[in-house]
Amino acid sequence: MVEKIAVVTGSNKGLGFAIVKGLCKKFKGTVYLTARDKIRGLEAVQKLNNDGLYPQFHILDVSNSESVKEFADFLKATHGGLDVLVNNAAILEWDEIYPSYEAAKRNIEVNYKSLLKIEEYLYPLLRDGARVVNISSSCGHLSNLKNKNWIDMFLKKDLKEHEVNKFVEDYLESVRNGTFDKKNFADGGKHAEHRVSKIAVTALTFIQQRKYADKNISINAVHPGHVKTDMANGGGEIDTDEAAEVVLYLILDASPNLKGAFVWHDKKLIDWYDPEGDFYCTGIW
C-alpha cells in the first residue's frame, strides 16, 4: 500500500504549525513541515518531537521557483506523489496600512503568485483523491471589493487565471504610479494589498477546481478565523489550534464532493459571489 503524504507550507509557526500538529495526531501517513528557514524549521520539528509527534522537515521557499521545483523533485523521487497539500505560507506587513509598492509586491508574491509556482510543480504529483486547502481570509471574500468593474469580472463563472493576474497587476501598478483609490475597497482601503492577494487566492481556488475537474481532487479555500498569530500583530480572536480545526476537517472529514468552496471558520459554506455580504475585513486580519 502506498504511504500517504501531506505537506503544509509555511508551517514552522502559527497556523501552519498547528495544522502540522493536528495532522501528526490524526493523518495516517507522513506529514511534511516546511519552512524557508532551515534552523527555524528544525526547531519547530523538535518542539513537536518533544510532544511525541514526528513530522518530516523540508526547506521550502514558496516564492522561489527553484526551491519549489527542488521540493517537488524530492517528493516525486521519495514518495512518487502527494495526497494532501495545505497552502498556508503568507505574509502581512502591519506597519504599512497603505503600503509602498515594494511592500505590496512582496505580499502578492508570497500570498498569491507562490500558488502559481506550487501548481506548476506540485499539482502534477497530486494523487487520486487528493485534497488541497488554500488558506484565504475574510480579506479574501468578494465583499472586500467596491469597484464595479472588478466585481463584475469576479462574478463570471468562467473566470480565467489571466484575468485574476491582470487584477493583481492593475492594483500593483496603481500603487506604483500613485493612482491607488481607497474607494475601490472596503474599510477605507486599509491593507488593500492583503485584500487583493487573498481575493486572488480564493478566485484561483475556484479556477483550479474547474481546471482539474476531470481528476478526483478536492480544492477548497478557507477563512480560518481571526487567528492569534504574528500576522495578527497581537490581535486575533481564536488560538491556532482552534483555527486549525476547520482545515483538518477539510482534509480528513469533509465529503470528497466538497469541491471549489469557500469555507468559513465555523465550517459553514459562504457564498463568495455576494459582493454586498458582510464578510469583509475590518480591523482584525
Q: What is the pLDDT of residue 283?
A: 64
**What is the pLDDT confidence band of residue 232, given thresholds at 50, 70 and 90?**
very low
d(CA 271, CA 273): 5
Determine the straight-line distance between the first and last CA of the chain, rounded to whole angstroms: 42
117's grid cell: 509556482
d(CA 100, CA 18): 32
Pairing of strands 262-263, 218-222: parallel
Please determine, looking at this structure, whether the domain spanning 5-95+114-141+198-263 carries the CATH number 3.40.50.720.
yes
Q: Which residues contact 174 (CB under 8 A, 6 or more apart)?
A: 180, 181
Query: In the chain, what are the domain boundaries?
Result: 5-95+114-141+198-263
Pseudo-torsion of CA 266, 271, 273, 278, nearest 10°? -60
d(CA 234, CA 121): 35
- pTM as predicted: 0.95
46-79 residue pLDDT tens: 999 999 999 999 999 999 999 999 999 999 999 9
122-170 residue pLDDT tens: 999 999 999 999 999 999 999 999 999 999 999 999 999 999 999 999 9
Identify the H or E element spanning 22.
Answer: helix 14-26
Q: What is the CA radius of gyration of the chain?
A: 18
- Residue type at position 157: K
